[in-house]
Amino acid sequence: MPNALTLESLREIHDSPLLELVVRAANVHRRFHDSRAVQVSSLLSIKTGGCPEDCGYCPQAARYHTGVEAHALLPTAEVLARARTAKENGASRFCMGAAWRQVRDNREFEQVIEMVRAVRMLGMETCATLGMLTVAQARRLAEAGLYAYNHNVDTSPEYYGEIISTRTIEDRLQTLQNVRDAGITVCCGGIIGMGESIDDRLRMVQLLAELDPPPESIPINALVPVAGTPLGEQPPVPAWDLIRMIATVRIAIPTAVVRLSAGRTRLSVSEQALCFLAGAGSIFSGERLLTTTNPDFPDDRAMFELLGLVPREPYAERREKNTRAEVEASARGMNMQG
């Protein structure tokens, strides 16, 4: 059943006193997740730059001059080597990103299928973000062992047109449906700091909560302003906004893993600690996101040690879901007996 959340109720949550909000989110987090475990995920740009879309935030759009060096699809062996290194560094999820508008049925897609198979054999959760997909393409990825597909709605339906004109939010929702229909878990979130209003942020949360079922994984990115893109001059989004957004998503969609994604280089360890307290259950670790810099593995290891966090096992989300179902079923059983 989709979550029916009014904009007013989300506003009330989002605007509540900061520490009250964090405590409330922390309580929800502890009920639904193992709060000591944070998933370390690793991102790799398998095909960089030259994208025909016009996403206003993106350094990989061909039309903006951002200095990102374009490269063709990486060889499978190189992708596999990177996945191995990530695993050795505690990552349990490996996400492959391609600067494509959509997947085409060609040799490159066959190569991506091969990459998914190879990474999956390492025992890691495989994730890909390749642009729009048909249901047939999604099924092929599912057969190869793809666990998650990342496809963000990025912002509210109302603000979407201000940021991207080469596709609509309906196109995005169609791909998300195709991913669902193929039985792949959905990773879908957005970006804050693009000049949107608080209501835009909350309408995005509302849209995510109303997906049936809601995404298993919700990345919250703070815009990384890149010179040469239309959003290159945006002022940095305050850490407090990010903490409020994570807490609000946590409360609105308790089952999802909320990912503290782009923008961590500007956050102190204390600010990140508040994000974890507010319900962030995952980070991207490693010196690069797709094209921009990110905290490297040793820094994050030190942070985990300091905060008493442990890296999350792969597929923990599936286990948590089963445990929740068992607890609920046994509670129902007890009610019936009593």
Active-site residue set? 51, 55, 58, 95, 127, 187, 259
Contacted entry of ligand DTB, ligand SF4, ligand SAM, none for residue 24, CB cut-off 5 to 8 Å set by kind: none
Return the residue of 141, 224, 239, 251 that touches ligand DTB, per CB under 6 A: 224
> To which residue do tokens 């990140």 refer?
272
Q: How far is the CB of 310 from ligand DTB (least distance, A)?
A: 23
> Which of 216, 169, 220, 150 has its CA nearest to residue 192?
220
| The two structure tokens encoding residue 276 | 């974890």
Which residues have C-beta within 8 Å of that of residue 137, sequence separation ≥ 6?
A: 103, 105, 109, 178
The site map against ligand DTB for 262-281 (x = CB under 6 A) is x-------------------
What is the C-alpha separation between 328 and 334, in angstroms, rounded?
10
Q: Which of residues 181-240 bind ligand SAM (CB under 6 A)?
A: 191, 221, 223-224, 226
254: left (phi over 0), alpha (psi -120 to 50) or beta: alpha
C-beta neighbour count of 111 within 10 angstroms = 17
Give the DSSP per-residue string, 173-215: HHHHHHHHHTTPEEE--EEE-SS--HHHHHHHHHHHHHSSSPP
Contacted entry of ligand SAM, ligand DTB, ligand SF4, none for residue 38, CB cut-off 5 to 8 Å set by kind: none
Q: Quick one: 40 or 223, whose CB is closer to ligand SAM?
A: 223
The site map against ligand SAM for 93-132 (x = CB under 6 A) is ----x-xx----------------------------x-x-
Binding site for ligand DTB (CB under 6 A): 43, 59, 95, 97, 129, 150, 152, 189, 219, 221, 224, 261-262, 289-292
